[in-house]
Amino acid sequence: MQWGDNDPFELEAMVALRRDLHAHPELGFEEVRTSAIVADKLAEAGIDVHRGLGGTGIVGTLKIGEGTRRIALRADMDALAMPELAERPYRSETANTMHACGHDGHTVMLLAAARHLARSRNFSGTVHFIFQPAEEGRGGAKAMIEDGFFDLFPVDAVYGLHNMPGLAVDEMAVVAGPQLASSDSWTVTFSGTGTHGAKPHLGRDAVTAAGHFLAALHTIVARVVDPLQPAVVSACALQAGDFKALNVIPDQVRIGGTARAYSPIVRDQLEAEIGVIAQGVAATFGIAAHYVFERRIPPVVNAADATMHALRAAKAVSGRPVVENFPPSTAGDDFAEFSARVPGAYVWLGNGPAVDGALHHNSRYDFNDDAILTGARFWTALVEQELRQ
């Protein structure tokens, strides 16, 4: 489709591309097709392209005028390992893989803005368009940084955007401070002495110990963490025994889960207290406990100055008042890896009503194409305002 004054963001073509990406989803670090399309569309618009950063990551660079300020805009590209159950013409053609979080839409919105900015050239400075792989828990942002992102592309600020069902497609939320929680993983392995289920006194029961641990685990948030500080500790996986051997008390029980916090102090508390409870329960039952806490993603905390720029841009393009008191989410996003190193802001764009209750990571979720225009206009306004000629 040709660029025209009546369609500055190539909306018809971008909707078609979004649906094509939806039909051909790719998991983290496997976005070969997606990144190739992005790179080609950027290069076609005259934007410098760096391919393969962090594996399948793409960075497009557009420098206009003599301005010295440099900003980065990030979109994620990966899909999730889950089936798509809704019937739609562009349903996923890849088994057990779907865009259930809207990264197909994020990719297209940033691409539409990049191509428009390359045409309009209405700013002075440098913009780096980050198309990140593997946001869904696989460490794509960290991989790009370890591959030299900040050395190759020094920036003064970084911005991220994510769709949000429940907000209208022309509605945005921009808030300073905590936006998303840290996302950490933990495992505890209790090792006892297995025995006959009819003779528990001859062993050391790791199963019963695990039950006490699970009950005590939830006292961390209820009784240890400051009640004014949000936190989550959840057990999400448990392995023990065999249902074909229900007369055997097993030697080991393995439990794993997630921990979420917004502040470094609470994050440290969660790590320490899970271990304290695990070792205490193990001592009570005369067994051993092996504890591992893996720090995966830091919290996303919006910097005041970057938030001010994002808020100004959102007010310029959204069709209704910008939400400035939107509550933080206990979900995580490795955009935090970028914004932990330079000032950043992460904003929300409405995705319309949650059709059939389909929120993020739901097998019937779909990105709302009507949000593409607002997202592309936001990115454009942000660049033109922050890098004003």
Catalytically active residues, by annotation = 78, 135
- In angstroms, the CA 236 to CA 255 distance is 8
Q: Which residue has the tokens 């330079």?
A: 342
244: exposed, middle or buried (C-beta count within 10 Å: 0-12, 13-18, 19+)? exposed
Q: What is the DSSP string of 332-364?
A: --TTHHHHTTS-EEEEEEE--S-GGG--TT-TT
H helix or E strand, kind and range, residue 19 = helix 11-23
Q: How far is CA 328 from CA 9, 256, 364, in A?
A: 31, 25, 24
Is-contact 134 327, C-beta < 8 A? no
CA quadruple 368, 360, 134, 266: dihedral positive or negative?
A: positive
- In angstroms, the CA 111 to CA 113 distance is 5
